[in-house]
Amino acid sequence: MKKAIILLNVFIVNISLADTSELPTYEQALKLAEAAWKSPPRSIDVTYYITVIDNTRTEEKLLQIYQEAFDNIYGTDEELSGFMLESKEKNIQNSTNNELKRRQDGIKVKYRIRADGKSYRVDRVYEIPDRTVLKATGEKEFRLGEEIEANTPFNETFIETPGATNGFELYKYYHKSKIATIQKIENSRSAVEDRKISNLLKTPNSLMLQMWLGTRKNNSAEEPIDINEVKIEQLCSGTLESCSVEIRPDVNKPDLKERIELSLYYDENKQIYTSLMICDKNDYSKVYYYQTPNPAIGKPPVLTMTFSDYDAQGFPHNVIDTQYDDKGNVYLQETYKIENVRLNIQIPEEVFGFNPPDDYEVTDYRLSEAQRQKAQIENMKKRLLDEDSGRRLQALMMLIEYLKDDPAELKEVAALMLNDERDTIRALALNILRTLLKDNPEGLRDIATSMQYDGSPKVQRMVEKILKQDKSNKE
Q: Do domains 42-200+298-366 and 368-474 have the same CATH topology?
A: no
Query: Is the backbone of residue 203 left (phi > 0), alpha (psi -120 to 50) or beta?
Result: beta
Helix 389-402 with 407-417: angle, nearest 10 deg: 160
Mean pLDDT computed over 55-64: 86
Residue 411 has pLDDT above 60, yes or no: yes
Measured between alpha carbons, how far is 363 from 369 in angstroms, rounded to an integer?
A: 11
Do 271 and 255 contact (CB within 8 A), yes or no?
no
Q: What are phi and psi of 216, to 5 degrees?
A: -90, 145
Give the SS3 label for residue 69.
Answer: helix
Question: If you compute the radius of gyration of the chain from its CA atoms, what whole number of angstroms results?
Answer: 31
Counting Cα atoms < 13 Å in the Cβ hemisphere of 148 gives 19
Measured between alpha carbons, how far is 449 from 446 in angstroms, rounded to an integer?
A: 5
CATH class of 368-474: mainly alpha
Query: Is the backbone of residue 52 left (phi > 0), alpha (psi -120 to 50) or beta?
Result: beta
The confidence band for 96, taking pLDDT boundaries of 50, 70 and 90, is: confident
Domain ranges for the chain, please list them: 1-40+204-285, 42-200+298-366, 368-474
Q: Give every CB contact of residue 192 below 8 A, 6+ residues apart in sequence.
A: none
The continuous run of DSSP H or E covering 44 comes out as strand 44-54
148-203 confidence digits (pLDDT tens): 888 899 999 999 999 878 889 999 999 988 899 999 988 777 655 556 777 788 88
Best CATH choice for the domain 42-200+298-366 from the list 2.50.20, 3.30.70, 1.20.1070, 2.40.160 = 2.50.20
- Whether omega before 293 lies within 30 degrees of 0, making that bond cis, reads yes
103-133 confidence digits (pLDDT tens): 888 889 999 999 998 899 999 999 876 666 5
Measured between alpha carbons, how far is 316 from 204 in angstroms, rounded to an integer?
A: 13
Give pLDDT, residue 137. 54
| Cα→Cα distances 366→168, 190, 350, Å | 12, 20, 21
